[in-house]
Structure 1
Amino acid sequence: MKSFHIHTGAALSRRTFLRGAGAVMGLPLLEAMTPAFSAPARTPQRFVGVSLYLGLHGPNLTPKGSGRDYTPSRYLRPLQDIRDDFTVVSGSSHPGVVGGHTAESSIFSACPNQRGATTRNTISLDQLMAKHLGHETRFPSLVLNTGTEKSPSYTENGAMIPAINDPRKLFASLFVDDSPQARKRKGELLQDGKSIMDIVGEEAKALEREVGSGDREKLDAWFTSVRELEQRLEMNESWVERPKPKVGKPPRPADPNNAADVKRAFLDIALLALKTDSTRFLTLHCTTNGVRSLDGVEENYHGLSHHGRDEDKLEQLTIVEQAMVNAWADFVRELKAHEQGRGRNLLDDTMVLLTSNLGNASSHDNKNLPVLFAGGSFEHGRHLAFNPKDNEPLPNLYLSALRSLGLQEERFATSTGELKGLVRKG
């Protein structure tokens, strides 16, 4: 069933459908869905997904106890000033996702990747959000990587979106205006793109009359993606002549031998992108391997993550991973410090996820993934501890995130419902 977006202050249930003869139809916005005394317009909602290619060492991350009274772990002790702003989730993973590092592609799509289970990836969480809500900003989404162009962000057709991996290029894209000649050329390319879509579309319609029903379904799905691309081209054209926001100097160069510093450089620009409402949906995949600038660290990140329980390697790994967690926490603090008016800060309207494709990098295990989830319209300050042997589907958290945006998906990937224990405010 296709998603739709309904005003979230509804008096009548947002999940009211008409059902009959096997059909399901979402109702339009009705007066009964609006409270007698309407609340102020809802502020834009955002999502930032930060993924770590090499995971986090579980014993240093997972707290003791559950609920609000958990005892913070080694990695979480420096985060106690924002304890009530994030939720710790343990005992969760993506059902059907295996293969150690190769599970990287399923971080945000949760698409099962066993041989024969699927021939291609499925749409990632951030891109599903951007598909329905990304038209409201200059950049429907931003896909970033601290090291390479590889990303865990995938389109509806299962194509990977190449990541921006240079902070200065990212800054220029967001905040440096194109020259008049460049703007003119972009407009011409967009016009050319639309005319090409028109031609391809006519050819597709002609083909539909010549093939069987099975192929017609495939063509219809493809034609739908063509129309979506056409709409996105039109949307992009409307931004070509609009000036970009001005935020000051480009970012300082990050130390390539400090993975946490590189991560901070990207998150600093991400913060500016959110503050200026240049985008609302963003992923950052952390793949930088250099860490030798960190005091007490002598080996590279990848080698330390495959520690084999060696005490010296674990001690060095702890230094690296604490820095990575701290960088994420500082980003959360910055969001919280940015006031938006009406008693709200940017974190109130921004979900921030930290996770990985690996629960145990040393053994290439894809179970018991690290999960910290901050901000948005949720009550936090809890440790949601699920069964480490029979994991809770992490896609349940993704479904909760989608529904908090007003996107009434019945499921996401292998979800079985919203995440148990994750409660919305109000």
Structure 2
Amino acid sequence: MPKSISRRTALRGLGVCLSLPLLDAMNPRSLAAPSQFSPLAKTNARQPRMICCYVPNGVNILEWSPESAGADYKLSPTLATLADHRDDFTVFSNMGHPHSQGGHSGADTWLTGADLTATPGSDYTNWVSADQIVAERHSKETRFGSLQLSDSSGTGSAGHSHTLSFDRRGTPIPAENSPKRLFERLFVPDNAGDRAATLRRYAEQKSILDSVLAEARSLHKKLGKKDQQKLDQYLGSVRETEQRVERLEAWIDVPKPELDAKFLQLNSKSHDAHDRPMWIDVMLELSYLSFVTDTTRVITFEWSREAGGYGGGGENHHELSHHGGDAGMLKKLGVIDRFHLSRLARFLDFLKQTDDGDGNMLDHTMVLYGSGMNSGKGGEHSPKNLPLLLAGGNSLGLKHGKHLAYDENSHPPLSNLLLTMIQKMGVETDQFSDATGTLIS
């Protein structure tokens, strides 16, 4: 494709400058075409998997919520985007986390159910997220116990998290937002020089951690009880880091799956409004490939951080979520909601088209999709009646094709759904956060 010409370009000769007319070559060039990626025929091995996909700022709940409940419900205008997968998912209404504060802390508590203000004297206290409970169960069998993806790298800040994953102490686990870095981390083989450098880095990290642990144990004896408890929490994080380094070191001589990046748009930018559709697609493609190759079985993906994000045409998602009941803004918000579900539908198509043991990938993969806030009828950012759906997992014991509608003021906590997923992933427990039981069979 020829390079685009600036509209300021002029012809210069003999000291005369003549402005050019508007030419086709001056029109903005498309930065990327739609993805040409195609699903693989089959997986390396059948395994249970889960991915939790989060969209910020709520949805146009008026166009999201079905009018009737049960197995014979009619798809709402927004959920009609998933019409081809109607029997592959369950939609939930009037459910939320009782302890959630709402607002833009929705991503912080979506998978934890935590009361962030529960600890006296602390402005922020989170709990372990459901995905990390599952990752502990499967981490020994995969190169990566879990993957954290987001449109913003790192962890963000308290109440405006860039990640959905939190460890046993409620510490956020950093997320990756670059498709290129993620692909290299997952699928590009290390050469001899890379391997040596990686081993040196691991050795240095272990040496530093050993030194920190030794000094901390010495300091522990000199502290009061409250400070000892704080130090113990810190030491727990250090030990977890040490275990992660040991796991990565154990996998260094296990070859990575080698995949062709030909149709992966790895240069898509997460914060480029034009790149928005391509970036979501490629991150979901990499998630799909991670599952196909059994590189991991647990993924969390925050499609945009709270108070941010774009629609498929570059619309300001956060601004539209403060619609105040304006009909025009609600209509535009609904367009963004359907754009998001169209990308989810494409991902579900990939899973369903790939053979996986005695079924397809969707049969063995649970896909949780939704938001930690409800922008409501007036844009109030409520923690109640969260937009939620769960797809896949038929071979794990889930039955779909239903709309489960609860009473908004008397409903099972969202943690019941998370506990259900934890159990379906093979974790033997009947406890998680504030769960009172499980939900769907």
> Shorter-normalised TM-score: what interval?
0.7 to 0.9
Q: 1:329 aligns with which of 323, 345, 361?
A: 345
Corresponding pairs, count: 375
CA distance in 2, matches of 1:115, 1:213: 20
- Aligned residues: CA RMSD: 2.5
Match of 1:145 in 2: 150
CA distance in 1, matches of 2:216, 2:292: 42
Moved more, 258-267 or 389-398: 258-267
Match of 1:407 in 2: 427
Alignment pair present for 1:346 and 2:368 = no
Tell me, what secondary structure is at the counterpart of 1:368? coil
| Residue 387 of structure 1: how far off its partner (Å) | 0.8
| Residue 305 of structure 1: how far off its partner (Å) | 1.8
Alignment pair present for 1:109 and 2:112 = yes
Change in Cα spacing, 1:290 to 1:229, as seen in structure 2 (3 Å) is closer
In 1, are the aligned partners of 2:143 and 2:248 still within 8 Å (CA)?
yes
Match of 1:97 in 2: 100
CA distance in 1, matches of 2:219, 2:261: 53
Deviations 1:162-220 (A, max 9, x none): 21111122112111123322221111121233334444444555556666777666666
Tell me, what secondary structure is at the counterpart of 2:433? coil
Alignment pair present for 1:74 and 2:77 = yes
- Counterpart amino acid of residue 386 in structure 1: Y
CA distance in 1, matches of 2:74, 2:237: 48
Match of 1:395 in 2: 415
In 1, are the aligned partners of 2:152 and 2:176 still within 8 Å (CA)?
no
Match of 1:383 in 2: 403
Change in Cα spacing, 1:206 to 1:88, as seen in structure 2 (3 Å) is same
Deviations 1:139-178 (A, max 9, x none): 1111111245421211222222221111122112111123
Deviations 1:210-256 (A, max 9, x none): 66777666666555544433332211102223332122125224473
In 1, are the aligned partners of 2:150 and 2:175 still within 8 Å (CA)?
yes
CA distance in 1, matches of 2:93, 2:119: 29
Q: TM-score, normalised by structure 2?
A: 0.78
Match of 1:11 in 2: none
Match of 1:313 in 2: 329
In 1, are the aligned partners of 2:277 and 2:312 still within 8 Å (CA)?
no
CA distance in 1, matches of 2:312, 2:53: 22
Q: 2:386 aligns with which of 369, 374, 383?
A: 369
- Superposed, 1:14-413 pairs within 5 Å as 43-114=46-117, 116=119, 119-149=124-154, 150-206=162-218, 223-249=235-261, 251-252=264-265, 253-254=267-268, 256-257=272-273, 259-287=276-304, 289-291=309-311, 293=313, 299-341=315-357, 343-360=358-375, 362-376=379-393, 377=396, 378-413=398-433
User: Unaligned stretches of 5+ in structure 1?
Assistant: 1-41
Match of 1:418 in 2: 438
Deviations 1:93-141 (A, max 9, x none): 0111114012331111111124756642111111222123222111111
CA distance in 2, matches of 1:135, 1:319: 42
| Residue 66 of structure 1: how far off its partner (Å) | 1.7
Change in Cα spacing, 1:224 to 1:146, as seen in structure 2 (3 Å) is closer
CA distance in 2, matches of 1:407, 1:116: 28
Match of 1:34 in 2: none
- Counterpart amino acid of residue 360 in structure 2: N
CA distance in 1, matches of 2:342, 2:334: 12
Q: TM-score, normalised by structure 1?
A: 0.81
User: Unaligned stretches of 5+ in structure 2?
Assistant: 1-44, 155-161
